Amino acid sequence: AYIITEPCLDIKDRACVEVCPVDCIYEGERFLYIHPDECVDCSACEPVCPVEAIYPDDQLPAELAEYAGINADFFTAVTQLGSPGGATIVGPVETDHPAISRQLGREH
């Protein structure tokens, strides 16, 4: 699966959402999360992110390794959304993974 990492925080450009053919990129309060089971590894999202926040899981830099769990846990322990089969029907969720929530705000 593809994984969204730290640069997305408080940026939330959403270009990735526009190009994902399976609507598997879900919006939280300060970050977006790719559903690890719904992602079909098409790679469309990676080049369109203006802050280069997206990586395939097998190319995730070591310093961003925790983001694999952050994306996955959002759908289980954090929101218990499970696998809804599409972000549009869920809409923005007004919460984030605790590892995201505790990060300080970014200057715009």
CA separation for the pair 108, 91 (Å, rounded): 25
Residue 34 or 72: the one with the smaller Cβ distance to ligand F3S is 34
CA separation for the pair 74, 91 (Å, rounded): 14
Residue selected from 24, 72, 87, 100 as contacting ligand F3S according to rule CB under 6 A: 24
Residue selected from 42, 66, 82, 106 as contacting ligand F3S according to rule CB under 6 A: 42
Are the CB atoms for 41 and 1 separated by under 8 Å?
yes
CA separation for the pair 98, 31 (Å, rounded): 11
Tell me if 54 contacts ligand F3S by CB under 6 A: yes
Residue selected from 28, 30, 49, 72 as contacting ligand F3S according to rule CB under 6 A: 49
DSSP conformation class of 77? I
Beta-ladder partners of 4 = 54
Tell me if 72 contacts ligand F3S by CB under 6 A: no
Q: Of 38, 17, 34, whose CA–CA distance to 88 is shortest? A: 17
Residue 42 or 77: the one with the smaller Cβ distance to ligand F3S is 42
Positions touching ligand F3S (CB under 6 A) are 2, 4, 8, 11-16, 19-22, 24-25, 32, 34, 39-45, 49, 51, 53-54
